[in-house]
Amino acid sequence: MNTFDYERPETVADAIKAGSKPGASYYAGGTNLLDLMKAGVRTPDSLVDITRLDELQRIEPQKDGSLRIGAMVRNSDLARNDLIQKDFPAVAEALLAGASGQLRNAATVGGNLMQQPRCAYFYDAHSACNLHKAGQGCDALEGVNGKHAVLGWTKTCIAVHPSDFCVPLAALGALVEVDGPDGSRQISIDEFYRLPDASTPPGSTLKQGEIITAVTLPSDAKRFAARARYIKLRDRTSYAFAIVSAAAMLHIGDGRIKDARIALGGVAAKPWRAREAEDALNGAEAGEAAFRKAADAALADAKPSGDNAHKIELAKRILIRALKAAADGTPATMPDLPGSVFATGKEAR
Q: Are residues 232 and 287 located together in one domain of the fold?
A: yes
Domain membership flag for residue 74: yes
Q: Are residues 289 and 202 located together in one domain of the fold?
A: no
Q: Are residues 207 and 308 located together in one domain of the fold?
A: no
Q: Name the pTM for this structure.
A: 0.94
Domain membership flag for residue 232: yes
Q: Are residues 72 and 208 located together in one domain of the fold?
A: yes
**pLDDT truncated to tens, each residue of the chain (349 aa)?**
789 999 999 999 999 999 999 999 999 999 999 999 999 999 999 999 999 999 999 999 999 999 999 999 999 999 999 999 999 999 999 999 998 888 899 999 999 999 999 999 999 999 999 999 999 999 999 999 999 999 999 999 999 999 999 999 999 999 999 999 999 999 999 999 999 999 999 999 999 999 999 999 999 999 999 999 999 999 887 778 999 999 999 999 998 999 999 999 999 999 999 999 999 999 999 999 999 999 999 999 999 999 999 999 999 999 999 999 999 999 987 766 665 555 655 443 3
Number of domains in the chain: 2
Domain membership flag for residue 108: yes
Q: Which of 189, 220, 251 is the last residue before a domain boundary?
A: 220
How many whole angstroms separate alpha carbon 153 and alpha carbon 160? Answer: 9
Q: Are residues 186 and 243 located together in one domain of the fold?
A: no
Q: Are residues 66 and 204 located together in one domain of the fold?
A: yes
Q: Are residues 100 and 236 located together in one domain of the fold?
A: no
Look up the domain containing 192 and give its range: 54-114+161-220
Domain membership flag for residue 138: no
Domain membership flag for residue 188: yes
Domain membership flag for residue 148: no
Q: Which of 198, 220, 242 is the last residue before a domain boundary?
A: 220
